Structure 1
Amino acid sequence: MRFVIVTGMSGAGKSTTLKMLEDMGYFCVDNLPIPLLEKFAHLACTPGNEIEKAAMGVDIRSGVALSEMEKILEKMTLTGIKHEILFLDASDEVLVKRYKETRRSHPLAKAGRVDQGIAQERKKLAFLKKHADYIIDTSQLLTRELNVELDKIFVKNEEFKNLVITVLSFGFKYGIPSDSDLVFDVRFLPNPFYIDALRSKTGNDREVQDYVMGFDLTKTFLSKLTDMVEFLIPNYVLEGKNQLVISIGCTGGKHRSVTLANKLYECLNGQKEYGVKIEHRDISR
């Protein structure tokens, strides 16, 4: 029997997650009163019943009863009821944007500002995030990407990588990505744009890659960049960071930045401690 408690910040995707888990064969219940949590878990975990996998949604709507949850979880552990906690998170900026787009009011904001409600919610849910077995930051995740992560954890039982690194190429002429954690400027490298045969191609093409990487300056930069990033990552993991966006920019975001982003991705990909994905924001502009 597998029993999962799905919780996290309002607007981070809890309802979507429960629907996905339901499609994966989980018996799902949302917003059950906290005092009934232990009883529901006990019934779900009783040997011989037809439920093999269950998930229960818990969020800030539980009100004052939420403060009782820590004791209930401790009691469940002592009585042998195994459970896992999935905490869905997102940056304050993304949560505010989502609330504005849907025109919904935050459960704690009332007539006040959304960001104030989010700040209160973070404080109230801090203990759940601390005890979480899995933390998924949905700030940059597409719905299909969230589904893939859930499938890995709760269906395929693969090892969960708490830190997801996005290597992102961009063009400075279109602005620095607002969600960047680290930004690197590669405009000092020779520019393929001024080579007629390469101008229409991108850093995904072998010809451009060979040109950009054909300079000792580029190779030295990539080596030093990789060394620094590999030094930083374990410290970000210790800090509890869930998302790291490494942005690499050139003038237009098509040649040098794409090449270096691809090379850095190749250097980082395949690690067990974290997941890595690659994105090229301005390559088609």
Structure 2
Amino acid sequence: MATRVVLVTGPSGAGRSTAIAALEDLGYETIDNLPLSLVPRLLDGPLLRPLVLGIDVRNRDFSVTALIELIDRLTRAPALRLEVLYLDASPDVLVRRYSETRRRHPLAPEDAPLEGITLEVDLLAPIRARADVLIDTSAMSPHELRAELARWFDLGKIARLAVSLHSFSYKRGVPRGLDMMFDCRFLSNPHWVPALRPLTGLDPAVAAHVAADPRFDPFITKVRDLLLFLLPAHVEEGKSHLAVGFGCTGGQHRSVAVTENIARALAEAGWQVSKRHRELERRALAQPGVKEAGGA
């Protein structure tokens, strides 16, 4: 059976150290800040139990390119089952946490924490997009974070399949790592309704417009039934994670509404579901004070 390996990363102050300690308590072997160049050598040796590797910008030879190459290499290794855990938090929360601890940011030790936080969010954006599990700790206490990690990574529940649903824009390309995807561009497009154009698929008015398309209900029913048929089979095959994508032209309206609908249906059926709205996340990153990583 493949050995479970969890790469834990994210911006400084988002809870990475707390997460690594929590995963150690769950029974994982944990190693923090190992140079990236030494990771393949470590994994070539015998692994007696599931492994957690903490990686951030303080790693001695850290680079985004090297980390992406490492993720790709470990994903292809048949003896390993890799998961990337990304701990995130909003910039204002990260600034507050740095102010409370009076620590200096590793990317801007001589400047205000916001400078380093902005640089780090920009730097890590491509890794965030590759995450299998994304946890926003902005409103979480350490106790709540530990409980969330137990829900995802408890070794006693390893047979439980984690399902991640992704909305995206075809114009920006298909997200990497999807196991299957569905095209939502045949549905009625709210973009052509002036009042709905600036809104997103999270807005009830947009969701109602998309759902009013007579093809919507049959589509949702067929996709839901297909997934509910396939998920137990993936569990039997030993998979721990399944990524499903829903795309539309801009990734703002139809794909978001469909993702939300399917997520509710799977959760009501008892499956562990997380959601990622890639283009909405890009819009959030583009807000003042936070740079968006071009091409991420």
Structure 2: gaps spanning 5 or more residues: 166-201, 211-245, 247-251, 257-266, 276-296
Q: Whose radius of gyration is greater, 1 or 2?
A: 1
2:55 to 53, 58, 62: 58
Calculate the aligned-residue CA RMSD, in Å: 3.3
Shift in alpha-carbon separation, 1:161–1:99, aligned structure 2, 3 A: farther
Structure 1: gaps spanning 5 or more residues: 164-224, 240-268, 276-285
Give, in angstroms, the shift of residue 64 of structure 1: 5.0
**Residues 32 and 56, structure 1, Cα contact 8 Å, conserved in 2:** yes
Other structure's SS at 2:134 match: strand
* Alignment coverage as a number of residue pairs: 182
Cα distance in structure 2, aligned partners of 1:226 and 1:35: 45
**Residues 35 and 65, structure 1, Cα contact 8 Å, conserved in 2:** no
Give, in angstroms, the shift of residue 116 of structure 1: 1.1
The one-letter amino acid of 1:56's match is: L
Shift in alpha-carbon separation, 1:126–1:64, aligned structure 2, 3 A: farther
Which whole-Å deviations, capped at 9, do the CAs of 1:204-249 have from their partners, x for residues lacking one?
Answer: xxxxxxxxxxxxxxxxxxxxx99559669x969967xxxxxxxxxx
Other structure's SS at 1:60 match: coil
Query: Which residue does 1:72 correspond to in 2?
Result: 70
Q: With the length of structure 1 as denominator, give the TM-score of the two structures.
A: 0.55
Query: Which residue does 1:85 correspond to in 2?
Result: 84
Shift in alpha-carbon separation, 1:229–1:154, aligned structure 2, 3 A: farther
Which whole-Å deviations, capped at 9, do the CAs of 1:62-113 have from their partners, x for residues lacking one?
Answer: 2553231212222223343331100000000000000000000110112112
| Residue 21 (1) aligns with residue 18 (2) | no
| Residue 142 (1) aligns with residue 141 (2) | yes
2:7 to 5, 8, 18: 5
Query: Which residue does 1:250 correspond to in 2?
Result: none
Give, in angstroms, the shift of residue 120 of structure 1: 0.8
**Residues 7 and 59, structure 1, Cα contact 8 Å, conserved in 2:** yes
**Residues 14 and 88, structure 2, Cα contact 8 Å, conserved in 1:** yes
Cα distance in structure 2, aligned partners of 1:106 and 1:238: 37
Give the share of equivalent positions with the same residue, in percent: 36
Task: Indicate the larger mover: 99-108 or 79-88.
Answer: 79-88
Q: With the length of structure 2 as denominator, give the TM-score of the two structures.
A: 0.53
The one-letter amino acid of 1:144's match is: H
Cα distance in structure 2, aligned partners of 1:85 and 1:159: 15
**Residues 36 and 61, structure 2, Cα contact 8 Å, conserved in 1:** no
**Residues 135 and 162, structure 1, Cα contact 8 Å, conserved in 2:** no
Please give the residue correspondences for 1:159-174 in structure 2 after superposition, counting only pairs within 5 Å: 159-160=161-162
Please give the residue correspondences for 1:56-135 in structure 2 after superposition, counting only pairs within 5 Å: 56-62=53-59, 65-66=62-63, 67-80=65-78, 81-135=80-134
Shift in alpha-carbon separation, 1:122–1:57, aligned structure 2, 3 A: same
Cα distance in structure 2, aligned partners of 1:54 and 1:100: 32
**Residues 9 and 88, structure 1, Cα contact 8 Å, conserved in 2:** yes
Query: Which residue does 1:34 correspond to in 2?
Result: 36
